[in-house]
Amino acid sequence: MTLKPSDRILGIDLGTTNSLAAAVLPQGPEALTPPGAPGPLVPSVAVRVEGRWVAGRQAVPHRLTRPGDTFFSIKRLMGRGLEDLAEELPRIPYRVEGGDRKLVKVMADGQGFTPQEISAQILKEVKAGAEAALGESIRRAVITVPAYFDDAQRQATRDAGRMAGLEVERILNEPTAAALAYGLEQKAKGLVAVYDLGGGTFDISILRLDGQVFQVVATHGNTHLGGDDLDHALAEHLAARHPAAPLAEPLAKAALLREAERVKRKLSAALECDYRIDLGAGALSGRVTREELNALAAPLVAATLESCRAALAMGQVDPQQITEVVMVGGMSRVALVRQEVERFFGRRPNVAINPDEVVAVGAAVHGHMLGGHRKDYVLLDVNPLALGLETMGGTFTKIINANSTIPAQATEYFTTSADNQTAVELNIYQGEREFVRDCRNLGRFKLGGLPPMAAGLPKVKVTFTVDANGILTVAAEEERSGKAASIEVIPSHGLTSREIDRIMEDAVEHGMEDLTMRQLVEFRLTAQAVFRGIEKAWPQAQALFTPETQQAIRVQMTQVSAAAEGRDPWRLKAEMDRLGDLTRPLADAIISTAALRELKEFYQEHKERETP
């Protein structure tokens, strides 16, 4: 069959366990089922067979026969480094090795393939199925990602789409897509919580729906928490029942995990379920109850509710203000999940829309709008974690704050710390703490070719831009010389869920301590700059001040130095204020020299920033 080309923009949910496509048809948006397929879901599985890729349903049987060559849950590897996967690797039957730029590769046929390449094979299968269902050749798509995916993971997803032959028009957050599908269909208004628990990730997003406006108020999540974790916990539970069985062998381990997945799904509707693990030479069997599954799922569900509390706190929303709770993801079918979510929010979750399909449907709706076919809503999403630069003393200066509406752009001005500096290196970080040692480096670049100037004179304008896909670009320009440089930040790998959790928890736990230390570091830097200005202008000071005042300035500089050796920022600030009172006439009287301009401008700028 020859397919006719189309400008339709497909909506694709690239999931950990299953993927699917949706499109807006004359009768409305719907998930696409290829001819002869049992449904729209495409297993997110790929296998290398005789030098070629097999993906989707055809690849699933190979998980039991060729576990070392069959790749699943690949989404958990996207945009990550080998050190990020320490907990994940023991669970994976296929081989994962470190590659260039800290990216990982999975091994098949003696070759290494990146997670992007594996995901591209899955996307190709989804694309082919959608084309068969529509009778059209598709080249454009909106692909969804967890809201808490960082820059590296979003870039990896976009690259996978490109490898699959798709023009990725937008990287869209999964909970936002779900809210879009739900809100337009239900004509909802008010505050909606989208609880998205899938195979490998969890997100909670709070959205304000008001007619045509879909605004994300806050988002939180864990990119390493989902149904996979319950599958492995249940598999370990079953294995413990049969300690003498050779369940560590690759084939047996694969069979055990597959049976654990099946039992989990059955217990979503049944109170108990029989299991049978085929070992080739024999089989293991028994029965599992829903109570046992609930006990295993309880820690996972508790972790999701902690994220819910964090999102509500960031959005300054009480659970009672939530008008609707939308459940998304296959794990939302687990009875315990629904019970605990209902208890937390105090209302029964909305499960009217198929939780497996709602994300793809929302992506299709957004793709329809991007294609110019509807303009009846405005979508305002957010950036999940703060973005900024390393500044003097190892401090983290936030340029774009967490939960800022995207697209977003912000500009800050910086200067040099040494005389005749001809280049400035910009180190870009992501996180919530006050020092870069507690944040994650995203990339770095150098603005060079600056003309030699006194420290503090260059005026470097740094602009951070996050586009609608959540992709960051950083540009820098020295305004006096016109020298400019920019970089699209492509980090070597992404944040682990543990790091993300630690980032948010530590930001609260150590907030006052961090702020105090940051103030101390900045006050010390201010004191150093003031000292430089005084020393450069001392010949003028000797002509301007009486010997008694000159002596008072020297004594006060000693007091500032002593305070800078301590750990009390407010004592240091008080001593600096006294020095400022003594030296301000010097700056006011002689403003023509570079040294005095540096003293006056630097001191005044920091005095304004440091006033509590």
- Report the catalytic residues: 13, 75, 174, 196
Residue 495 token pair:
């944040």
> What is the rounded CA–CA span in Å between residue 207 and residue 187?
14
Residue 261 token pair:
């997945």
β-pairing verdict for 4-5 and 136-137: parallel
Residue 501 Cα distances to 216, 224, 497, angstroms: 20, 10, 6
Question: Using an 8 Å Cβ cutoff, are 159 and 129 in contact?
Answer: no
Q: At what angle do helices 250-266 and 227-241 cross, to 10 degrees?
A: 110
Q: Residue 527: which of 561, 554, 556, 550 has the closest Cα? A: 561
Residue 234 Cα distances to 50, 71, 239, 245, 282, angstroms: 34, 21, 9, 16, 21
Place of tokens 């299953």: 18
Cis peptide leading into residue 407 (ω within 30°): yes
Beta strand spans in 14-72 (E) = 18-25, 28-31, 42-43, 45-49, 52-55, 70-72
**What is the phi/psi pair of residue 338, to 5°?**
-65, -40
Question: Using an 8 Å Cβ cutoff, are 118 and 74 in contact?
Answer: yes
DSSP 435: B
Question: Using an 8 Å Cβ cutoff, are 114 and 492 in contact?
Answer: no
H runs (alpha helix) in 60-111: 62-65
